[in-house]
Structure 1
Amino acid sequence: MRRLAVVREWSQQSRRSRPESGEASSVARPLPWEQHLPWVGQRGPCRNQRIGQPSEEVWKYLPPTASYKKETTAGVAQSSADEEMRKIPNNGNLKMTKVAYPMGLFVCLFIYIAYIKWHWASATQAFFSITEAAAGARRGQQAQGPLGTTAHGHKVFYGIMFDAGSTGTRVHVFQFTWQPGETPTLTHETFKALQPGLSAYADDVEKYHLEIKYYQDVKSFFDFSGWMSTPGIQELLDVAKQDIPFDFWKATPLVLKATAGLRLLPGEKAQNLLQKVKEVFKASPFLVGDDCVSIMNGTDEGISAWITVNFLIGSLKTAGSSSVGMLDLGGGSTQITFLPRVQGTLQTSPPGYLTSLQIFNRTYKLYSYSYLGLGLMSARLAILGGVEGKPAEDGKELVSPCLSPSFKGEWEHAEITYRISGQKAAVNLHQLCASRVSEILQNKVHRTEEVKDVDFYAFSYYYDLAANVGFIDAEKGGSLVVGDFEIAAKYVCRTVENQPQSNPFMCMDLTYISLLLQNFGFPENKVLKLTRKIDSVETSWALGAIFHYIDSLNRQKSWAT
């Protein structure tokens, strides 16, 4: 009622101030609503008149203003109006309003987009779960019924293995089906690799930790994968999250195994780095044990690769099946692993060369050994006369008979740059190089006669060198005999002088591989199979390692119950 009385008063004032018909007025009267405006004293935006003042009755409803002076006379001069205008407090309020409005709009828009992103991710996960249960899992896997069970009654489980190598970090996400009493079946593998390797952070562990923590803090709130740069471990974890249904996360083991790159680091640096990775793993939604992050010794690496190959070719499905051996040549180490059938091999093997493996409810006694420092890159350094982890004294140039006599250049290994050059040769380059390589291998490799009777698969640099000289298809792989490496070495060493800069290490590398295989005991006519994949699955140690880890978890569970 009080407000109604005020409105009536405004209306009466308006009628009293309106000029009679035909009467000229030199002063424009304010409209009733203009009297409510606090900035009294201005001129109207469209009329050449000063805005009027509110009455005493209206005044009590306006907010108090310390420096505002009420006017009761409508005909005050413009100078007085300007003076009153200057008295009105501003304090930047209008300016702040102009800034606050777009800022508020931006914040609201950002929150809205975050909500849409979260809602979309949840809907996508739900969609895939429903699709897998009703019409078959992604990538052609069998349709699933209740959690972990296929339409045919097989159990479904997943495993995540990180391969932290010297040159990069790789993630393998495996999906398996399994029925009690049978060997598991691999139904899918997702693979992704990133550079650099973990060892690149060895001297700046805290930076690595802070990068990961920043990514986790931001991503955990908005889940904007792909909107920001990510550290390698966290980005590869996201690959696993996208590939594994949400309901399986808590039951999926997450493991990282570091290989020769971290084995060559000082112990404290390596452990500090792995501890930071473990903290990231502990914050993930997957199954993480106390031994989830570790440095894999070379023997375990060879055994895991042996499991991978023999699982993929089907020799582990039934007891007594014929198995194959495994040869792996990495950058820092090389491994040889096979299942001995001859009693003499078991009796004459040096200590540490025989190991017992329990997997799939069977026990295997394997011949397996890893030669640290005899990987291709480490062997190059030794042949050149360098020392692992140490720069050449006073920038001294390393000279080798395995390089073209006219070659001069630089070579980087383990983040150290070496100046290298070829030795002036008076005789055949291959002979000089073979003599130098033999010195490096002398008394370092155990020779066993049984290898000539076992089928072997060879991987990594064996594969790369064979593909480079055209012995096998670069994509599909193939087979060759051990003597082919020596033939290629002699040819390349003879022609390297014509193209010394194109591939200066080819003569050295081929000569080294040829003599390494001979020292293992392989005859020249021994056939080796070289491949990167079997049934579209990478022939790395990762699959065997996750099998071994899951098998050990199952044994621990059975012992506990």
Structure 2
Amino acid sequence: MAPLRLLLTLSVGLLAAVLGADATYYRHHRFVPHYRYREHSANTENLLPEAAQPATPTYPVIPEVFHPAPESLHPAQEPDQSPEVAPAAMVHALAPLSRGKVFYGVMFDAGSTGTRIHIYKFIQKDPVELPVLDNELYHAVKPGLSAYKDTPEEGGNTVRQLLKLAQKTVPEEEWKQTPVVLKATAGLRLLPEDKANALLDEVREVFAESPFFIPKNSVSIMNGTNEGILAWVTVNFLTGHLYSNTKRTVGILDLGGGSTQITFLPKSQSLTPNNICLRFNMFNHTYQVYTHSYLGNGLYAARLATLGALRADGKIPVFTSSCLPKKFQEDVTFGGITYKVSGIPDGYAGYKLCYHEVMKVIKGIVHQPFEVKGSSVFYAFSYYFDRAVESGLIDGSRGGMVEVRDFKKRAKEVCNQMTKFRAISPFLCMDMTYITCLLKEGFGFKDNTVLQLAKKVNNVETSWALGATFDHFRNLNIH
């Protein structure tokens, strides 16, 4: 049976993860998705008193990795019921899967600052067992598609070049059975509709030329809600918590160039702003996930908002900020538009002034879910990770756990020594201050809240791409 046909006929929810050097697999079971959205008011916040901080930092324990294999099916839970956990048995590690059937999936992440390709390799050991995620090949090109809003053919060429990499990676005999999908995010969401559609049409033409299998609706713009939930699925899948019978999961913080997302499983739905929860059933578990996406609050969009460039009428020749080195001046391009920015030569610069500037981009816009003040574990990635590495807060090869106060401390050091850090990035002070402000004043994290910064989990990128691949492979029907 063809791998894709086998994949689509399996009545299962998600693929099994590879943890460490061993591959694991799960017994065959059914996944019945169900999503329910609730409207909310963007102007209402849930600001509750902050609990007293302990004298010494208390690091939450990262939940252990479990891999249960449900033996039987249970009906989906009613909205007011807590999900039951099906009987589970610990899954054993497989021997090397050299004799299994190999197949692939290709997902393009067309972000605001770059286009990334994720080439996933899966192995089907046995028709009655779930396939295994074997590995991922990842590559990125800059700038993002939105930079080609006036020259869509050039944007299409960047995708064409990445497709050549896919052809080198996927064996030729698998091309016609390997699905290729592109999902664009905030970069195209911020463009005028006609410009975005022209880019998407160009990508469709490039896909049509390729030898791969092109599913229906393979090129689209993904909304921020799906971006958050699919990133949550990816990280919890890779860490083993998506299937855990302990009901413990990890939250995610994704900071892109044009937008940012927060997603987590609240202990009480009533403690999220306006009870914004997305409900779905997965592997006999009912999840009510709080998720919110903020368009225009990604790192690069926030830079321009801090500078006042996004509100400008075209009459301001140069945009200045106390977050930049005094003698700095440069042309900055975002979304295909170039802006002149600089420090304030005869003014003051530093952390306090910069914090005041970036507050305007966050205050009254970002909600504060009360439960982030608790002990939930959050994985932070994308520009959270990149800026932490550039500022020396963590080791880029390993990632690591940091407290929110660590971002604040390092932001002060960077801002008060801008000359020293200018060689790394003249925007490092602004970026680190924005991250600090977003975490503290925006989401409401406490100083001693611990974040797990990671670029990869088990050698797979921490992004929404794997979750989106599951969406296409397993027909999750996320609307």
Separation in structure 2 between the aligned mates of residue 284 and residue 406 of structure 1, nearest angstrom: 49
Alpha-carbon distance, 1:172 to partner: 1.1
Q: For 1:511-530, list aligned pairs within 5 A.
A: 511-518=433-440, 519-530=442-453
Q: Which one has a larger percent helix, Structure 1 or Structure 2?
A: 1
AA in 2 matched with 1:311:
F
Aligned counterpart for 2:371 among listed residues 438, 447, 450: 450
1:271 aligns to 2:172 (yes or no): no
Separation in structure 1 between the aligned mates of residue 237 and residue 207 of structure 2, nearest angstrom: 28
Separation in structure 2 between the aligned mates of residue 171 and residue 406 of structure 1, nearest angstrom: 38
Separation in structure 1 between the aligned mates of residue 344 and residue 457 of structure 2, nearest angstrom: 42
1:198 aligns to 2:121 (yes or no): no
Q: For 1:246-265, list aligned pairs within 5 A.
A: 246-265=172-191
AA in 2 matched with 1:448:
P
**CA displacement 1:263-297 (0-9 Å, x = unmatched):** 11111111122122223323434332221110011
AA in 1 matched with 2:322:
P
Contact 2:280 2:286 (C-alpha < 8 Å) held by counterparts? yes
Separation in structure 2 between the aligned mates of residue 433 and residue 196 of structure 1, nearest angstrom: 27
Counterpart of 1:284 in structure 2 is 210
1:374 aligns to 2:297 (yes or no): yes
Alpha-carbon distance, 1:349 to partner: 2.9
TM-score normalised to the size of structure 1? 0.62
Separation in structure 2 between the aligned mates of residue 301 and residue 249 of structure 1, nearest angstrom: 27
Contact 2:322 2:349 (C-alpha < 8 Å) held by counterparts? no
Q: Secondary structure at the match of 2:257?
A: coil
AA in 2 matched with 1:159:
G
Contact 2:414 2:421 (C-alpha < 8 Å) held by counterparts? no
Counterpart of 1:539 in structure 2 is 462
Contact 1:183 1:317 (C-alpha < 8 Å) held by counterparts? no
Aligned counterpart for 1:342 among listed residues 268, 272, 285: 268
Counterpart of 1:324 in structure 2 is 250
Alignment CA distance shift 1:411-1:250 (3 Å): closer
AA in 2 matched with 1:467:
V
AA in 2 matched with 1:296:
M
AA in 2 matched with 1:523:
K
1:333 aligns to 2:259 (yes or no): yes
Aligned counterpart for 2:416 among listed residues 494, 506, 517: 494
Equivalent pairs counted in the alignment come to 383
**Structure 1 vs Structure 2: percent identity of aligned residues?**
47
Alignment CA distance shift 1:197-1:423 (3 Å): closer
Counterpart of 1:98 in structure 2 is none
Alignment CA distance shift 1:358-1:197 (3 Å): farther
Counterpart of 2:389 in structure 1 is 467
Contact 1:401 1:425 (C-alpha < 8 Å) held by counterparts? no
Counterpart of 2:132 in structure 1 is 185
**CA displacement 1:437-468 (0-9 Å, x = unmatched):** 22221110110121232101111111122112
Contact 1:492 1:506 (C-alpha < 8 Å) held by counterparts? yes
Q: For 1:91-110, list aligned pairs within 5 A.
A: none
Alpha-carbon distance, 1:191 to partner: 1.8
AA in 1 matched with 2:381:
F
Counterpart of 1:24 in structure 2 is none
Contact 2:147 2:334 (C-alpha < 8 Å) held by counterparts? no
Alpha-carbon distance, 1:161 to partner: 0.5
**CA displacement 1:217-262 (0-9 Å, x = unmatched):** xxxxxxxxxxxxxx22223223323333444433332211011111
Alpha-carbon distance, 1:326 to partner: 0.6
Structure 2: runs of 5 or more not aligned = 1-20, 24-95
Separation in structure 2 between the aligned mates of residue 540 and residue 397 of structure 1, nearest angstrom: 35
Larger Rg: 1
Alignment CA distance shift 1:152-1:316 (3 Å): farther
Alpha-carbon distance, 1:202 to partner: 2.1
Separation in structure 2 between the aligned mates of residue 473 and residue 165 of structure 1, nearest angstrom: 25
Alpha-carbon distance, 1:361 to partner: 6.3
Alignment CA distance shift 1:460-1:182 (3 Å): same
1:237 aligns to 2:163 (yes or no): yes
Separation in structure 1 between the aligned mates of residue 338 and residue 97 of structure 2, nearest angstrom: 58
TM-score normalised to the size of structure 2? 0.72
Contact 2:182 2:219 (C-alpha < 8 Å) held by counterparts? yes
AA in 2 matched with 1:421:
S
Q: Relative contact order (alpha carbons < 8 A, sep ≥ 6): 1 or 2 greater?
A: 2
Counterpart of 2:360 in structure 1 is 439
Separation in structure 1 between the aligned mates of residue 139 and residue 351 of structure 2, nearest angstrom: 39
Counterpart of 1:387 in structure 2 is 310
Contact 1:406 1:500 (C-alpha < 8 Å) held by counterparts? no
Alignment CA distance shift 1:512-1:285 (3 Å): same
Contact 2:112 2:144 (C-alpha < 8 Å) held by counterparts? yes
**CA displacement 1:407-430 (0-9 Å, x = unmatched):** 444433333333333347887832
Alignment CA distance shift 1:208-1:141 (3 Å): farther
Contact 1:359 1:548 (C-alpha < 8 Å) held by counterparts? no
Separation in structure 1 between the aligned mates of residue 248 and residue 339 of structure 2, nearest angstrom: 46
Alpha-carbon distance, 1:327 to partner: 0.6
Alignment CA distance shift 1:313-1:394 (3 Å): same
Separation in structure 2 between the aligned mates of residue 172 and residue 361 of structure 1, nearest angstrom: 29
Alpha-carbon distance, 1:363 to partner: 4.3
Contact 2:322 2:348 (C-alpha < 8 Å) held by counterparts? no
Separation in structure 2 between the aligned mates of residue 267 and residue 333 of structure 1, nearest angstrom: 18
Alignment CA distance shift 1:272-1:513 (3 Å): same
Separation in structure 2 between the aligned mates of residue 157 and residue 316 of structure 1, nearest angstrom: 23
Counterpart of 1:17 in structure 2 is none
Alignment CA distance shift 1:360-1:476 (3 Å): same
Alignment CA distance shift 1:516-1:170 (3 Å): same
Alpha-carbon distance, 1:406 to partner: 4.7
Separation in structure 1 between the aligned mates of residue 141 and residue 329 of structure 2, nearest angstrom: 32
AA in 2 matched with 1:366:
V
Contact 1:359 1:551 (C-alpha < 8 Å) held by counterparts? no
